[in-house]
């Protein structure tokens, strides 16, 4: 950790120790203006962090990290196209993918990348228009009714999550499916619902060599060819890749390949042609609104001071909970069924980005990074794991997301959904003492001895920190801003922790081992040299 950051860090540690006995219900009782002091708004959004275990002094100390870690300098380096992914020698310019054409250049290696970005976006727009207008037809002359995206990781989770999130905006005559798992059950059960003559496959792989994606693609190709013949491939497959040679060998016309660039990390690639299935699902106009929302959040992150900066505040609060209060996890609780895949998407974004053991100099870190992220859409989670959060004795910072307006407006639903969301935050903050429980039971007519017996079981410790993010509604613009919010949160944390959030060598190591073991499982190589467990497992799978 850099010396200046260490000084601020030590001050926060002393502050945490001094306030270790504070309870949230007492902090609210002592300050009628606590909500006003510890909440902020942006573009009709509200971020309420008054239920976090912080005071205004805590926030002042945390916000000092913004400057001492030189977040403004790192933001400038990212925007200038510097190779801030220093272990791979790459820039991290996902912000360019949603940068408007009339807002000036974004430079990389001495060239403005924006003409290439908008060339690909225009190509996407034409393709979506062709599918929606039924101009693009399959080999038998029939229109396309089903899109199957075959990818994995960032080539799957982003568009899959966003397609579900924006189901209220879906095209009425198209169904979009996602296949990622190497397990044949994923592809086979999807194909069982489809007709080859109406199906278009989008193969999403930057290198066109990703093992899981290319195996699924090969099986999908065989399924199609078996029904329609070899010549049909060109009308039923398109690619999102930069490896045009492999695309052509697969049988896809390179004119139907959509490009993206090595300065776009997989988990940051939704905004590129990786978002093609999403654009097909909701229409290109809505995809443009998604990009506009992300760009609006970019501008907010770049310009807002730390006390008003939503990504920065979320980053600082997580650092406080993780590094100073000892929380090793965080639960994400979107009170929106449409955002049901958001926890999975953010698991990849946050844990793959910031789950690192060394700093930018290659030295072991002296603090933890990237708490475990988990979660589920409310109210489902209330009937699953909330018991643990309320009474399990673990420190579990909670992050609620809700919308003022419903995306599917069935009468009687949304008011109850909001009531549950806000009630959970209040209950987690306030808790209920044994004396309060006893008094409540007695007031309900229970005998004193029975109330005394049951009070310990029905009491809640409370003091569980939470944040609530309230959006106006779930639409393409606000979804784009929400996802960009978390991208910038991750980046802000990485700067303070002094780590590289844009590589993922742990993932690559597993791929290397799998490639070696495949040859052994297939009987093409010897198991000599393997540890006894791995060798035993392979042997147990042989006929």
Residue in 352, 399, 487, 493 annotated catalytic: 352
Contacts of 261 (CB under 8 A, 6+ apart): 93, 113, 116, 242, 272
The yes-or-no answer on residue 212 being catalytic is no
How many domains does the chain divide into?
3
Neighbours of 472 (CB within 10 A): 14
| Same-domain status, 326 and 196 | no
Quick one: pLDDT at residue 156? 97
Asked whether residue 391 is assigned to any structural domain, the reply reads no
- Domain boundary among the residues 248, 282, 316 is at 282
Quick one: pLDDT at residue 3? 59
| Same-domain status, 525 and 402 | no
Asked whether residue 424 is assigned to any structural domain, the reply reads no
- Domain boundary among the residues 250, 282, 314 is at 282
Task: Point out the residues of the chain with pLDDT beneath 50.
Answer: none
Q: 348-386 pLDDT, tens per residue?
A: 999 999 999 999 999 999 999 999 999 999 999 999 999
Asked whether residue 290 is assigned to any structural domain, the reply reads no
Asked whether residue 44 is assigned to any structural domain, the reply reads yes
pTM: 0.97
Quick one: pLDDT at residue 508? 81
Please report which residue ranges of 260-360 form alpha helices under DSSP H. 276-282, 284-303, 310-319, 342-346, 353-354
| Same-domain status, 141 and 246 | yes
Asked whether residue 195 is assigned to any structural domain, the reply reads yes
| Same-domain status, 150 and 132 | yes
Quick one: pLDDT at residue 372? 98
Q: 476-504 pLDDT, tens per residue?
A: 999 999 999 999 999 999 999 999 999 99
| Same-domain status, 124 and 75 | no
Quick one: pLDDT at residue 27? 97
| Same-domain status, 211 and 251 | yes
| Same-domain status, 118 and 229 | yes
Asked whether residue 438 is assigned to any structural domain, the reply reads no
| Same-domain status, 480 and 372 | yes
Domain that holds residue 489: 3-80+305-379+397-411+466-497
Q: Among candidates 3, 5, 2, 4, which has minimal Cα distance to 316? A: 5
Residue in 44, 86, 383, 394 annotated catalytic: 383
Q: Among candidates 412, 386, 414, 370, which has minimal Cα distance to 506? A: 370
CATH number assigned to the domain comprising residue 248 = 3.40.50.10490
Asked whether residue 21 is assigned to any structural domain, the reply reads yes
The yes-or-no answer on residue 511 being catalytic is yes
| Same-domain status, 492 and 510 | no
DSSP string, 158-212: HHHHHHHHTGGG--TT-EEEEE--SSHHHHHHHHTT--GGGEEEEEE-SSS--HH
| Same-domain status, 70 and 122 | no
| Same-domain status, 492 and 512 | no
Cα 532 from Cα 400, distance rounded (Å)? 46
Cα 154 from Cα 165, distance rounded (Å)? 16
Asked whether residue 104 is assigned to any structural domain, the reply reads no
| Same-domain status, 493 and 511 | no
């Amino acid at each position: 950790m850099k010396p200046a950051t260490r000084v601020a860090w030590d001050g926060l540690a002393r502050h945490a120790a001094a306030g270790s006995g504070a309870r949230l219900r007492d902090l609210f009782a002592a300050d009628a203006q606590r909500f006003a002091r510890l909440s902020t708004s942006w573009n009709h959004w509200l971020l309420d962090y008054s239920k976090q275990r912080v005071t205004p002094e805590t926030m002042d100390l945390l916000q000092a990290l913004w400057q001492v870690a030189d977040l403004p300098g790192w933001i400038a380096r990212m925007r200038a196209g510097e190779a801030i992914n220093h272990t791979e020698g790459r820039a991290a310019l996902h912000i360019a993918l949603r940068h408007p054409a009339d807002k000036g250049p974004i430079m990389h290696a001495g060239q403005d990348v924006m003409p290439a970005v908008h060339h690909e976006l225009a190509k996407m727009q034409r393709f979506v228009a062709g599918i929606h207008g039924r101009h693009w037809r399959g080999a038998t002359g029939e229109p396309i009714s089903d899109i199957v995206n075959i990818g994995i990781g960032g080539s799957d989770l982003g568009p899959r999550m966003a397609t579900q999130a924006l189901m209220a905006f879906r095209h009425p005559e198209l169904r979009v499916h996602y296949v990622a798992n190497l397990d044949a059950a994923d592809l086979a059960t999807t194909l069982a619902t489809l007709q080859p003559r109406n199906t278009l496959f989008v193969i999403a792989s930057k290198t066109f060599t990703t093992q899981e994606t290319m195996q699924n693609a090969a099986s999908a190709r065989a399924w199609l060819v078996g029904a329609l013949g070899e010549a049909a491939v060109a009308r039923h497959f398109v690619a999102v890749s930069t490896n045009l040679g492999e695309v052509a060998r697969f049988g896809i016309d390179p004119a139907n390949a959509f490009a993206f660039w090595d300065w776009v990390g997989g988990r940051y690639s939704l905004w590129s042609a990786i978002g093609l299935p999403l654009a097909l699902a909701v229409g290109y106009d809505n995809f443009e609104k998604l990009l506009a929302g992300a760009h609006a959040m970019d501008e907010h992150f770049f310009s807002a001071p730390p006390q008003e900066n939503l990504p920065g505040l979320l980053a600082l609060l997580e650092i406080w909970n993780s590094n100073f209060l000892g929380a090793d996890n965080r639960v994400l609780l979107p009170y929106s069924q449409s955002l049901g895949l958001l926890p999975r998407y953010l698991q990849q974004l946050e844990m793959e980005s910031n789950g690192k053991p060394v700093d930018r100099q290659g030295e072991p870190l002296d603090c933890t990074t990237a708490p475990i992220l988990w979660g589920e859409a409310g109210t489902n989670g209330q009937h699953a794991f909330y018991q643990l959060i309320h009474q399990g004795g673990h420190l579990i910072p909670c992050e609620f997301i809700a919308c003022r307006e419903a995306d599917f407006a069935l009468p009687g639903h949304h008011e109850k959904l909001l009531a549950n969301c806000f009630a959970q935050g209040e209950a987690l903050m306030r808790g209920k003492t044994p004396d309060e429980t006893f008094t409540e039971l007695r007031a309900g007519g229970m005998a004193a001895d029975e109330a005394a017996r049951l009070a310990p079981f029905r009491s809640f410790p409370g003091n569980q920190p939470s944040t609530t993010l309230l959006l106006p509604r779930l639409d393409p613009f606000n979804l784009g801003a929400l996802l960009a919010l978390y991208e910038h949160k991750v980046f802000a944390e990485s700067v303070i922790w002094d780590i590289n959030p844009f590589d993922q060598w742990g993932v690559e190591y597993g791929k290397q081992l799998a490639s070696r073991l495949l040859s052994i499982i297939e009987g093409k190589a010897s198991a000599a040299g393997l540890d006894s467990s791995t060798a035993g497992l392979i042997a147990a799978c042989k006929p």
